[in-house]
Structure 1
Amino acid sequence: LKADFDKLLQDKQATVGVAVVSDGRKTFTYNNQHHFPLMSVYKFHQALAVCDYLQKRHIPLSTSLYLDKRYFKPDTYSPLRDKYPQGNLELPISELLAYTMQLSDNVACDILFDYIGGVNVVDEYIHSLGINDVSITTTEDEMHQDMDDCYKNWTTPMEAANLLELFMTQDSMKNEYTNFLKHIMIECETGKDRLPAPLPESEVKIGHKTGTSDKNERGEYIGINDIGFVILPDGNRYVVAVFVKDSKENMETNTKIISDISAAIYRYARNR
């Protein structure tokens, strides 16, 4: 795989990090020494913390939260705000999670941060799982106010893959909340041109979460990412995390990097 990736990336003006865990045993990393901005990939980390919060308190996913209009910031990506511009309504937590995980909604994300007690609750929960090379310190709104804050939410590729692996295998993470999360990740609507693009839809099941930045003042995309789990027709599976940071390439090239890497990993997994 390393030779494949070297060739694929030789002329690309970006730093690309990859991690794969196949069948819970074999691991592969590429550029794992770098910290990569999570961007909206951290909505997966948040969703796990929300599931833990609900489970410990026996709060059903159907519980409604009041969405104060003050959350409905005008200049951020939010299908939720576009649908309910007047704000001040109630929606179930399950629907807010679907907005964050399937549509990558920034308003829903910050509402959920507040609900469970802030970004530090997510950071502490993820660290409590033994996932250490990760930092979650700023909200979507804070990242929007100051683009440098995007770099404060970071991970190594391996720790993103390790978290996915825990999610897929750990008994303590097998419950109605995480089952719902798996389901909405499989129904993800963003980034179909990334990890899922080369995978034959009829044979393979993929659940994933994307992250997408704007450009920094140097004209580089801060982070274009996708992480997910892939279940093969024979029941074997792998988890994969791909991060593209500080990229001078255009968006089409960035997403093609991710889909080409996904294709190489899939070929490798099928031919083992």
Structure 2
Amino acid sequence: MRFFAFLFALLPLSGFAQDSLQSKVAAIAKDAKGTVNVSCMLPGTKLNCDLNPHNHPPMQSMYKLPLALTALHLAEAGRLLPNQRPGESADATLDRTVRFLPTDIIPGSYSPLTDRYPKANVDITLRELLRLAVAQSDNSAEEVLIRLVGGPPVVQSYIHSLGISAFHLVYSERDLDRDENLQYQDWIEPAAAVQLLELLVNNPPISPAANAFLLRTMADTVTGPGRLRAGLPHGTVLAHKTGSSGTHGGITAATNDIGLITLPDGRRLAIAVFVTDSRADEDTRESVIARIAQAAYRKAILTK
């Protein structure tokens, strides 16, 4: 018996460690009083924090990340803005201006752009529109971008062309403002969200300069400070995008955060956490996301 116990002690513990991480994630998720959908990836390792990774949670404003990626792709292809010059630099394209129209405003919706220009009819650089949409989740900036790219079907088609098929986009922020029940038709699988994040790191579909701009913008995100960021050591670089719904009848449809976490050794952990149809309050929902991020981070820095 001692001999078999000795052999057991020599067996690799990685499998047990991963089971432990998934069990910890599942235990944390119970506090959300809803459905928690999680996926993560650390390339070259078997790190696994998956919980319902193939569910279809509503994205809400998380969709502004694939929208921004689509806009950058079309801009670099010379198909986003009029009079683009072939071969111009990413900086030159980002500095081109776009007209912010009164029809881009969603009355009563969150928009620092609208707060700044309540009557619209001003020219805004593409760079600023992307920063507002991604880093501040500005809904008017989103409406300008979705108008420029040609609508949700264009975004869905482009993301599918990247090999990310578990992504479904039908409606824009204006549509959801009209009827928030429509949000359930705009979804992404957590595993697909992680796939999208990994693409930005390992095989960017846009130029290095445009991709670097997008990652910097994600790192400047100010929304959701109590979510992924709250579970990480101070100073940790996090490039992320959040999504949030309203609360109706005590149920909050979407409290989301997806991001790339830079570990101390420079590796980047991709993680996506979607809290769906939760009866918990906002602090609890965000704490669930933060604690899952903390558990994944702690395991990741020990995983080679």
Pick aligned residue for 2:97 from 32, 50, 64: 64
- For 2:247, the equivalent position in structure 1 comes to 215
Give the match's secondary structure for 1:74: coil
**220-229 vs 166-175, greater mean Cα deviation:** 166-175
8 Å CA contact retained: 1:135, 1:155? yes
Tell me the CA shift for residue 130 of structure 1. 0.7
Distance 1:241 1:11, change over 3 A: closer
Distance 1:48 1:25, change over 3 A: farther
Q: RMSD between aligned alpha carbons?
A: 1.4
**Pair 1:252-2:275 in alignment:** no
Distance 1:12 1:68, change over 3 A: closer
| Counterparts of residues 233-272 of structure 1 (less than 5 Å) | 233-272=264-303
- For 1:16, the equivalent position in structure 2 comes to 36
8 Å CA contact retained: 1:19, 1:27? no
- For 1:26, the equivalent position in structure 2 comes to 46
Amino acid at match of 1:220: I
| Counterparts of residues 31-46 of structure 1 (less than 5 Å) | 31-46=52-67
Distance 1:27 1:115, change over 3 A: farther
**Pair 1:86-2:107 in alignment:** no
Tell me the CA shift for residue 233 of structure 1. 1.7
Q: Deviations over 1:131-181 (max 9, x none)?
A: 011101101000010111111110110000001001111054342212111
Give the match's secondary structure for 1:50: helix
| Counterparts of residues 60-209 of structure 1 (less than 5 Å) | 60-202=93-235, 204-209=236-241
Give the match's secondary structure for 1:149: helix
Tell me the CA shift for residue 25 of structure 1. 5.1
Q: Deviations over 1:52-71 (max 9, x none)?
A: 11111156011100111122
8 Å CA contact retained: 1:34, 1:156? yes
- For 2:3, the equivalent position in structure 1 comes to none
8 Å CA contact retained: 1:193, 1:259? yes
**Pair 1:50-2:81 in alignment:** no
Give the match's secondary structure for 1:130: coil
> What stretches of structure 1 of length at least 5 have no aligned partner?
none
Tell me the CA shift for residue 84 of structure 1. 1.0
User: Highest CA radius of gyration, 1 or 2?
Assistant: 2
Q: Normalised by the size of structure 2, how large is the TM-score? A: 0.85
Whole-Å separation in 2 of the counterparts to 1:185 and 1:23: 20
Distance 1:11 1:193, change over 3 A: closer
Tell me the CA shift for residue 219 of structure 1. 2.7
Give the match's secondary structure for 1:201: coil
Give the match's secondary structure for 1:239: strand
Amino acid at match of 2:277: D
**21-30 vs 122-131, greater mean Cα deviation:** 21-30
Give the match's secondary structure for 2:171: coil
Whole-Å separation in 1 of the counterparts to 2:108 and 2:255: 20
Give the match's secondary structure for 1:227: strand
Q: Normalised by the size of structure 1, how large is the TM-score? A: 0.95
- For 2:255, the equivalent position in structure 1 comes to 224
Amino acid at match of 1:263: Q
- Percent of residue pairs bearing the same amino acid type: 34
Tell me the CA shift for residue 33 of structure 1. 3.3
**Pair 1:6-2:26 in alignment:** yes
Q: Deviations over 1:183-206 (max 9, x none)?
A: 11111111111111121233x211
Give the match's secondary structure for 2:247: coil
Amino acid at match of 1:88: N
Amino acid at match of 2:262: I
Query: When you count strand as a share of all residues, which structure comes out higher?
Result: 1
Amino acid at match of 1:83: R
Aligned length: 270
Distance 1:24 1:239, change over 3 A: farther
Whole-Å separation in 1 of the counterparts to 2:276 and 2:111: 23
